[in-house]
Structure 1
């Protein structure tokens, strides 16, 4: 599923641009397309659906039984926790060093002992807090961990029922998501205290999609569906305040890319190596930008520079520094930890009987 690897880069870049814009306020120069950047938080929703889809594709329901469940949890934890822990330790060193030098964090409530423990336990997105804390983008990783814990049970049902049942459940999840967005004022920008309400419907939608993909892959115009959904995402974010409509367009995009792969057709996204690489480091990139943002914003304030008045400098610095940290995290932490987990948690091979 090469397209789905590349689309991870798109989601990460979209979220990143949204957060850069909060400081640099560059979206105003994009005219009618400013809304696309200002809705960049919806890239997380794309990740949530993609996560359910990929897990369902990689793990047949019948295999997630007994010790395989513990092995699954171990591999998923090894996939997300090492980078999370590394970034947390970097932030801890930064905060303690700053305090020792007499610097007071701008948002002192963000760096409490209690929130540090919650982050270490990966429960910060389970409703235990209601504000940004430490490496704040990791709230979504916390909800992903909740999804991993529930995945074997959810997939046991969705992966074995007739296709019509997952389809009905997917429609129900979209309805629930719509009601949640309506109650929140048409937005799905829900984090921390309300994160799980946002996550689980989208996670289940992704899982259910995998059951429906083979039914339609061979005769649907997948490439055109992908192009139309991309255009719809840009149009809807620029003209509509209903986040649920954008999430639906994101689902169409992911479905089209998955069907293209299932039908064994050429990738929709003619992906050069750079896009594939950016997709591969997207997790480390997503987990790195919060730390760079903290340091860069502090540096700009210390220099008396307003990021909004120095948009280009701030944006370029954020991009280069985040990429540098992400590449280091990917190569020095993420990939070695994944290889180690694969060795430790490999399925034992029975000895041949002579």
Structure 2
């Protein structure tokens, strides 16, 4: 089954994060357009987490446990590393070149930060070397636990859902100083759980079209209202409910309504990982150009176009080619 609409949602989420980081460009005198439209654009990240949880459950539902379990887990980890690491490592090293700080990352505190970034381990600093990597720290931890859950075979979902619920409760009770324990017990991990539950639900039950339509309208409208700051999301549970309903809306487009989706939007989803990680570099290059007044709107759109172009190149020449090569070499 092709999940075209879920792929489109990937692209939308990546663009939201881009617009969130570019929003100052269109904060015009007397009209903070960027803040009005994209101040909440960072919610694209928890959308990614739900999608990740869903995809992991979706792609492993029919896993053959008659084979060696350890071999299956090794294969799972190989595929996740091949998917995430090459582009992230490339752009992490690219991030330390500007500003003449390259050699600072090969001794002392800089080396400590670089090693932790490459190992997807958080530090006391809020962000890793490539600042967007903070979300990949969560992703890779989720993959670690998901891989371990395969030891439990048919009971794996009980383990992984129970694990993240218990650690999240622990995070509410105890405020850890360790950055790693903060991540392990963070409520953001619950978004992965929601994705898993959605996969199990849609695999087992068929939702009536009228109910799916109502959920979709509520999910999309409430998400837009959150994005525009009309509905506040200071409460973690309200935020979780709205973002989850929004993602579920796109799943109904695939599962219930069977919409094929637009090819250009699907492609945007294909390049979403490259787009998400590479867009700060476009900002670095263009920040030396000064544009005034309403020309900033055109400048903002130019940034988006350039980001998509850069992401497309990275997708074709790094993601696809390197991934294909590593799958052959690592037998994944």
Q: TM-score normalized by structure 2?
A: 0.79
Question: 2:217: which partner in 1?
Answer: 227
Pairwise mapping of residues 101-140 of structure 1 onto structure 2 (< 5 A)? Answer: 112-123=110-121, 126=122, 128-140=123-135
Q: Is residue 266 of structure 2 the alignment partner of residue 276 of structure 1? A: yes
CA displacement at 1:169 relative to structure 2: 5.6
Q: Is the 8 A contact 2:16 2:42 kept in 1?
A: yes
Equivalent position of 2:20 in the other structure: 18
Q: Which moved more, 1:13-22 or 1:61-70?
A: 61-70
Deviation at 1:222, TM superposition (A): 2.1
8 A contact 2:114–2:129 mirrored in 1:
yes
Q: Residue 112 of structure 1: SS of its match in structure 2?
A: helix
Pick closer, same or farther for the CA change 1:306–1:139 going to 2, 3 Å. farther
Secondary structure, counterpart of 1:217 in structure 2: coil
Do 1:129 and 1:192's aligned partners in 2 also have CA atoms closer than 8 Å? no
1:239 has 2:231 as partner: yes
Residue 5 of structure 1: aligned partner = 7
Secondary structure of 2:155 counterpart: coil
Number of the residue aligned with 1:288: 278
1:337 Cα shift? 2.0
2: CA distance, partners of 1:36 / 1:330:
28
Say whether the 8 Å CA contact 2:278–2:307 is kept in structure 1: yes
Alpha-carbon distance in 2 for matches of 1:170, 1:99: 39
Number of equivalent positions: 314
- Summarize deviations over 1:110-135 as a string: whole Å, max 9, x none: x9333222222222xx3x13233432
Which residues in structure 2 correspond to 1:268-347 (within 5 Å)?
A: 271-297=261-287, 299-300=288-289, 305=290, 311-312=296-297, 314-346=299-331
Backbone CA RMSD of aligned residues: 3.9
Contact (CA 8 Å) 1:6, 1:275: kept in 2 or not? Answer: yes
Change (3 A) 1:161 1:277: closer
Q: 1:67 to 1:154 in 2, by over 3 A?
A: closer
Partner of residue 54, structure 2: 53
Tell me the TM-score normalised to structure 1 length.
0.74
Question: How has the CA–CA distance of structure 1 residues 26 and 79 changed in structure 2, closer, same or farther, with 3 Å as cutoff?
Answer: farther
Deviation per residue, 1:295-314 (Å, 9 max, x gap): 333x14xxxx3789863254
Q: Which residue of 2 aligns with 1:209?
A: 198
Alignment partners' CA distance in 2, 1:161 and 1:60: 10
Match of 2:245 among 252, 256, 260: 252
Deviation at 1:82, TM superposition (A): 0.9
CA shift in 2, pair 1:53/1:94, >3 Å:
same
SS where residue 160 of structure 1 aligns?
A: helix
> SS of the counterpart of 1:242?
coil
1:24 Cα offset (Å): 4.2
Q: Which residue in the other structure is 1:352 paired with?
A: none
Deviations 1:182-241 (A, max 9, x none): x9xxxxxxx999544143221122112211223443425324422321101122342314
Report the alpha carbon displacement of residue 334 of structure 1 after superposing the two structures with TM.
0.5
Q: How far did residue 336 of structure 1 move?
A: 1.0
